[in-house]
Structure formats: C-alpha cells, structure tokens
Structure 1
Amino acid sequence: MNLQELLETFELLDQWDERYRVLIDLGRSLPAFPEEARTEDNRVEGCTSNVWLIHETTDDEPPRHVFRADSDAFIVKGLIAIVLMAYSGRTQEEIRGTDIRDIFTRLGLEQNLSPNRRDGFYAMVERIHELSGAQTQSA
C-alpha cells in the first residue's frame, strides 16, 4: 500500500476502530529490522515507546534517502509505516517538501491519537529531516 491508497482507505472508514486495525496491519507489514541496529544511537528521542530509526543514502543523483524503523508498540509500528511511506526513498528536496501535518490531518490522526503518540510521530519526522539534511534552517 502506498500513501495515496492509505488516504483513500481511511476516507472510506467511518470508525476509528477500523482505522486503528489498518494501522496495526501496516505495522505488521514493516520489513524486519536488524537486531544490531536497536541501539541508543538509533533510538528516536521524544517517543514514549522505543523507536529505532536507521538511514542510508543511494548512489543516485540526487541521492535518495532510505529509512528503516521499528518499535516495541503495535500502533507506533503503524505510525512508522506511514512515516516511511511519506519519506523513504525520497530525495532531500522531496523530504523537505512533504507536508506531513496535512497527511496526518487527512488521515484523521490529529484527533484520534494521544498527545504522546502525536509528539512521537513528529519526533520521528524531525529525526528523518536531521538524518537526510532536509531540516529547515531557522534564523
């Protein structure tokens, strides 16, 4: 499933319970995460659950940023899947131009996740921006 298909699926689901099940299924579909990458250096700060995120770049021109992540919480794994759909395999410019807050709102997550999970979601996004060099420079 890609991000557009996910948005369309969520539009069809009226109940948060149904969306919650889709999120858990998305999390179950994450590729295996290497045990040796479950280190403090790869842990995302700001997440209540443990979240590990690793990054590599391709040799393409411009390079693409590939992310892999995992968590010890089912719903967070689903949120990771959304973040990876939005950012993994993208260039720095594409990452910078992705409006994750719009995606988050369109998926109905803004009103249905606890503040801690919401903060953790945005902590993952911030870490992706750091790793890819796509963070915006503030004056």
Structure 2
Amino acid sequence: MSLSAPAQQALQAFAQCQAWEQRARLLMQWGEQLEPLDHADKTEANRVHGCESRVWLVADQVEGQWRFKASSDARLLRGLLALLLVRVQGLPSTQLAELDLRDWFTQLGLARQLSPSRSNGLHAVLLRMAQLTGPG
C-alpha cells in the first residue's frame, strides 16, 4: 500500500524527532490541525464506542473516495486521530479493512506510547470506519 503525500509528511516529521518529548509535542500539534467537527456532528450516532475518551467520527464519500472527520475531548487522542486520518483518507474500503494500525504507529515511532486502551480505542475507530464505508 503506497502512502499519500500527507502520510509521507507525517512520517518525515516524526522521523526527525529524537526524544519522546519532541514526538509528544508534534503529536499535540497534529491534533490541533484536526479539522473541527460541527457541534451537530457530535451526536450519539457518530460516537465511537470502545474508546475510554469520547470520540466522534463522520464519513463522507467524495468522488468515490472516503473522507473522514474525527474529534475527541482528549488532546493526545486528537493527535493520534489526526495521524490515523492522514493515513486513511481516500483509501478504498478494502484497503481500510487491511490497514495495520500498529505498523503505522510503529513507523511513526509512537507504538510504544500506545497503551492497550488507546490501541483498542484506535482499533474501534478503524472498525467504525470500515462499518461506515462497507457495503450496506
């Protein structure tokens, strides 16, 4: 699976970080760049269950490609969501279903910082994406 230009930019940015503090700062910056969700989108129907923090996810299909928007109350999780979104934007649902989350965050140098609950939460987001984009 080839990476989109934004995903490659993310990899390059995180590759330049030497220490966890730098990665954490960069993660927060990515979270701040997350496109905000409208208040109307923060509904129970758009909420992702399986996350400790509150996470909302919406999907739109634009010219045959899926575009996602997500938000969370938790700052660190917003950064992780931003990095997940940058990896999945525009992927067909078949590739979405095959995405190896741990591998992506390992490439970014963030896998060790994924607690089991955060990892489960991100998997729940990915699962929800697959449900939203899947047939029927």
Q: Do both share a fold (TM > 0.5)? A: yes
**Equivalent of 2:18, from 14, 18, 23?**
14
Q: Deviations over 1:106-136 (max 9, x none)?
A: 11222112221121111111111111118xx
Select the residue among 34, 37, 40 that pairs with 1:36: 40
**What pairs up with 1:62-81 in 2 under 5 angstroms?**
63-81=64-82
- Could you list the runs of 4 or more consecutive aligned residues of structure 1 that deviate by over 3 angstroms after TM superposition? 96-99
* C-alpha distance in structure 1 between counterparts of 2:97 and 2:115, whole Å: 26
Give 1:132's aligned residue.
Answer: 133
Q: Shift in Å at residue 73 of structure 1?
A: 0.7
Instruction: Name the counterpart of 2:31.
Output: 27
**C-alpha displacement of 1:2:** 1.3
- Does the aligned pair in 2 maintain the 1:86–1:98 contact within 8 Å? no
The one-letter code matched in structure 2 to 1:53 is L
> RMSD in angstroms over aligned alpha carbons?
1.7
**How many angstroms apart in 2 are the aligned matches of 1:81 and 1:96?**
18
After TM superposition, the structure 1 stretch with the greater mean CA deviation from structure 2, 32-41 or 97-106, is 97-106
CA distance in 1, matches of 2:101, 2:117: 17
- Structure 2 unpaired stretches of 5+: none
For structure 1, the residue ranges without an aligned partner over 5 or more in a row are 135-139
Deviations 1:28-66 (A, max 9, x none): 0111211011111111111111000011112x3xx2111
> In the alignment, which residue of structure 2 is the partner of 1:105?
106
Asked if structure 2 preserves the Cα contact closer than 8 Å seen for 1:24 and 1:78, the reply is: yes
Higher share of residues assigned helix: 2
Distance 2:103 2:23 in 1: 17
User: How many residues end up aligned between the 2 structures?
Assistant: 131
